[in-house]
Copies of this chain bind each other. A is one copy, B any other.
Amino acid sequence: MKKKLSIVDIANSLNISKTTVSFILNGRAQEKRISEELVKRVLEYVKEVGYKPNSLAKSLRTGKSHIIGLLVQDISNHFFATIARQIEDLAYKNGYKIIYSSTDNDTQKTQELITMFRERHVDGYIITPPDGIEDDISDLIRDGFPVVLFDRYLPSVPTDYVVVDNLFSTYNATQYLIDNGHKNIVFITYSSIQTQMIERLEGYEKAMHQSKLKTSVTEIDFYASADSIVKLILDFFEQNKDVDAILFGNNHLGKCGLKATRKAGKRVPEDIALIAFDDYELFELYTPAVTAIAQPISEIADNVINLLMERLNTTTEEQKKQHITLATELIVRDSSK
Contacts and interface: CB of A to CB of B under 8 A. Distances in A.
Interface stretch (A115-123, A159-167, A320-328): A115-123
Interface size, A (range)? 35 or more
A84 B88 contact: no
Nearest to A283: B282
Interface in A67-96: 67, 74-76, 78, 81-82, 84-85, 88-89, 92
A285 interface: yes
Interface string A109-129: 000000110111100000000
Interface in A36-93: 52-57, 59-60, 65, 67, 74-76, 78, 81-82, 84-85, 88-89, 92
A101 interface: yes
Interface stretch (A147-155, A184-192, A255-263): A255-263
Contacts of A280: 282
A78 B78 contact: yes
B116 A97 contact: yes
A119 B66 CA distance: 12
Given A1-B142, A1-B143, A56-B56, A101 B78 contact: no
B98 A100 contact: yes
A105 interface: no
A289 to B, nearest CB: 9
Nearest to A80: B81
A255 B89 CA distance: 24
A88 B75 contact: yes
A286 interface: yes
Contacts of A12: none
B98 A55 contact: no
Contacts of A100: 88, 98, 100
Contacts of A99: 67, 97-99
Contacts of A259: 284-285
A210 interface: no
B258 A119 contact: no
Interface in A245-277: 255, 258-259, 262
10 contacts: A1-B144, A2-B143, A52-B115, A56-B121, A75-B84, A75-B88, A85-B102, A258-B282, A259-B285, A282-B282
